[in-house]
A and B are shown apart, each in its own frame.
Chain A
Amino acid sequence: MTLQPVPATDPRPTLAVWKFASCDGCQLTLLDCEDELLGLTERVRIDHFLEMTPAEGADGGRARLEGRGPYDLSLVEGSITTAEDAERIRHVRRVSRYLVTIGACATAGGIQALRNFADVDDFLAAVYARPEYISTLATSTPISAHVPVDFELRGCPIDRGQLLEVVTAHLAGRKPRIPGHSVCFECKRRGTTCVTVAHGTPCLGPVTHAGCGALCPAYGRGCYGCFGPSDKPDLRSMVAQLRRDGMSERDIQRVFRTFNAASPEYAPVPELAAEERRDPPAEGS
């Protein structure tokens, strides 16, 4: 599929897809919408999407990379990890009417935000033979730390159905039905037996943002929080519960240090986990 020049009279809203520091998985979710993709292109004109654009010469590629716009709807994947990207996202914001960030990198800084908790130069020295070739920021930050964002779609990767919902809701002018409650809602609605209560499996479901359809618990595994924190999560009670379910202080710290490590809601976790060590809870069962 190539992007054809479109007549100026084309009434369709325009869509752009942008990538920052990320693995491409979230924007590929759009291409995963195989059954809906053709219907989608009837409703929107995909004007900027490098993943479905053939490679071009240096100049054309550059133009494509920047995308002049304006665009009615921009989907932005990835976090900001370089000074150039910090500049580029401002351009994206300027040319976008409605900007939606997609995925844990764009909404929380991604797994690459682990650098925020350490010295990035140490990483550079450990990983690269010639660290001086690398130009990077000390932190990985979400898009919302740089420009105003109209809607954030969570997940690592995002859920296909939720992506379609955000796009169709935008087209219909309604609020996307992307609830901010816990994964427990989804487990219960689909009739999954609670893995914590019935098996003693540690699970982040009670403090994790719904959206995945409670995938992991349906296969007997605890939620590991790839959609990030739910609305107003109670981390103190969650950490105490993980402790009761047998997790060590180190494990508790690590389970929150994944795709959404830099979520501000998770900031108190190290201290809470340490508190738990000092003041072990009574055995509940």
Chain B
Amino acid sequence: MSTVVPPLPYRVVDSRAETGDTRSIELVPAGEGLAPFSPGQFAMIYAFGVGDVPVSVSSLRGGHGGLVHTVRAVGAVSTALYRLRPGDTVGLSGPYGTGWDLGAAAGHDVLVIAGGIGLAPLRPVVHAVLDRRDAYGRLAVLAGARTPADLLYRDEIGSWRDAARAEVTVDRPGPGWRGAVGVVTTLLDHLDLRPGRTRALVCGPEVMMRHTARDLVARGLAPHHVQVSLERNMRCATGHCGHCQLGPLLLCRDGPVVGYDRVAHLLLVREL
């Protein structure tokens, strides 16, 4: 058990544009640091005077050895984080939440499916699998985005192709786009899926995860072999504020990563 404490100051050492409204910021402790994060876990990042938001860690190994978070400017806090530049300081607390169960994926084919900014919490999974390539079977990354300009980590995805299958698709192609068009599940049609040997990790908008998980189950994956990372309003991240409930789950504590078998029925209830 630990006690809820104020966030710790972390310094921004890098800020890199990913898309028009999304940046990745790398943070290192200004003094004392937090406990190590696992892929899929999240931090509460506090922008001075503005507030804090939960953000999953998008890389455990930034260029300066720091934690990387990818933020999309959609609200006041995320916009403040988006505007951070090297030298700025934020408050950081965590690590919070369950994280991806990579142990369960060891020895199996790993199928990573992401929609939009959902690729951010899955990127450390790809890193972890690439780091210990022998410990896993095939690795496939399927990523969808609204438009080509919204695709995250495009250069990096290219580098994954040496050791993995990595496919991208967009909803609305622009001029010059020669890749796939359509929802991310259409990429599954071209994949030589071995359902019994595959462990899937899915993150994206809730409706995308619902369809994807259902599709995977229809293709023969057991529901508990599909992990999804869910999102709800979070104010405290310590299980005390009650905001992140999804039926029996407190997603800051029991999630954000949960087995699809635990939530399939909950995701079908409107406004739960």
Task: Indicate yes or no for A touching B, C-beta below 8 A.
Answer: yes
Tell me the nearest residue of chain B to A174, going by C-beta.
Answer: B50
Complex A-B: 15 CB contacts under 8 Å: A172-B50, A173-B49, A173-B50, A173-B76, A173-B79, A173-B80, A174-B49, A174-B50, A174-B51, A174-B76, A174-B77, A174-B80, A175-B51, A175-B75, A175-B76
The residue in chain B whose Cβ has the minimal distance to the Cβ of A176 is B76
Instruction: Tally A-B pairs: CB < 8 A.
Output: 16
| Structural contact, A172 and B49, CB atoms closer than 8 A | yes
Instruction: Provide the bound-state CA to CA distance between A96 and B247, in Å.
Output: 45
CB neighbours (8 Å) of A175 from chain B are 51, 75-76
B83 nearest CB neighbor, chain A only? A173
User: What's the minimum C-beta distance from A173 to chain B, rounded to whole angstroms?
Assistant: 6
Chain A residues in 8 Å Cβ range of B77: 174
Give per-residue flags for B70-108: 1 if the beta carbon is below 8 A from chain A beta carbons, else 0: 000001110110000000000000000000000000000
A residues at B contact (CB < 8 Å): 172-175
CB distance from A179 to the nearest CB of B (A): 13
Compute how far the CA of A172 lies from the CA of B83 in the bound complex, rounded to whole angstroms: 13
* CB neighbours of A172 from chain B (8 A): 49-50
| Docked CA distance A172–B79 (Å) | 12
Closest approach, in angstroms, between the C-beta of A18 and any C-beta of chain B? 25
Question: Please, how many residues of chain B have a CB less than 8 angstroms from a CB on the other chain?
Answer: 8
Q: Which residues of A contact B79 (CB under 8 A)?
A: 173
Please give the residue numbers on chain B whose beta carbons come within 8 Å of chain A beta carbons, in ascending order.
49-51, 75-77, 79-80
Which of B75, B76, B77 has the most chain A CB atoms closer than 10 A to its own CB? B76
A175 to B50, CA, bound (A): 8
Interchain CA distance A155-B49 in the complex, whole Å: 26
Closest 7 CB pairs of A and B: A174-B50, A172-B49, A175-B76, A174-B76, A173-B50, A174-B51, A173-B80
Residues of A contacting B51 in the complex (Cβ-Cβ under 8 angstroms): 174-175
B80 surroundings in chain A (CB, below 8 A): 173-174
B64: min CB distance to chain A, Å = 26
CA distance in complex: A89, B49 (Å): 32
Task: Please name all residues of chain A whose beta carbon is closer than 8 Å to the beta carbon of B75 when the two chains form the complex.
Answer: 175
Contacts of A174 in B (CB 8 A): 49-51, 76-77, 80
Q: State A173–B51 Cα separation when bound (angstroms).
A: 10
Shortest Cβ distance from A175 into B: residue:
B76
Say how far A97's CB is from chain B's closest CB, in angstroms: 16
Tell me the bound Cα distance from A172 to B51 in angstroms: 10
Question: Whose C-beta in chain B lies nearest to the C-beta of A168?
Answer: B49
Residue of A nearest to B77 (CB): A174
- Please measure, in the bound complex, the distance between the C-alpha atom of A173 and the C-alpha atom of B82, giving whole angstroms: 13
Taking A173-B50, A174-B49, A174-B77 as known contacts, 13 extra A-B pairs with beta carbons closer than 8 A to each other, sorted by chain A number, are: A172-B49, A172-B50, A173-B49, A173-B76, A173-B79, A173-B80, A174-B50, A174-B51, A174-B76, A174-B80, A175-B51, A175-B75, A175-B76
User: In whole Å, how far is B73's beta carbon from the nearest beta carbon of chain A?
Assistant: 12
For B48, the closest partner residue in chain A by CB is A172
Report the separation of the CA atoms of residues A175 and B76 in the bound assembly, to the nearest whole angstrom. Answer: 6
Assembly CA distance A172 to B77 (angstroms)? 11
When chains A and B are docked, how far (Å) is the Cα of A20 from the Cα of B51? 34
C-alpha gap A257/B77 in the complex (Å): 39
Q: Closest CB-CB distance, A26 to chain B, in whole Å?
A: 25
CB distance from A22 to the nearest CB of B (A): 29
Which residues of chain B are near A173, meaning CB under 8 Å? 49-50, 76, 79-80
CB closest chain-B residue, reference A171: B49
Residue of B nearest to A172 (CB): B49
| C-alpha spacing A77/B139, complex, angstroms | 61
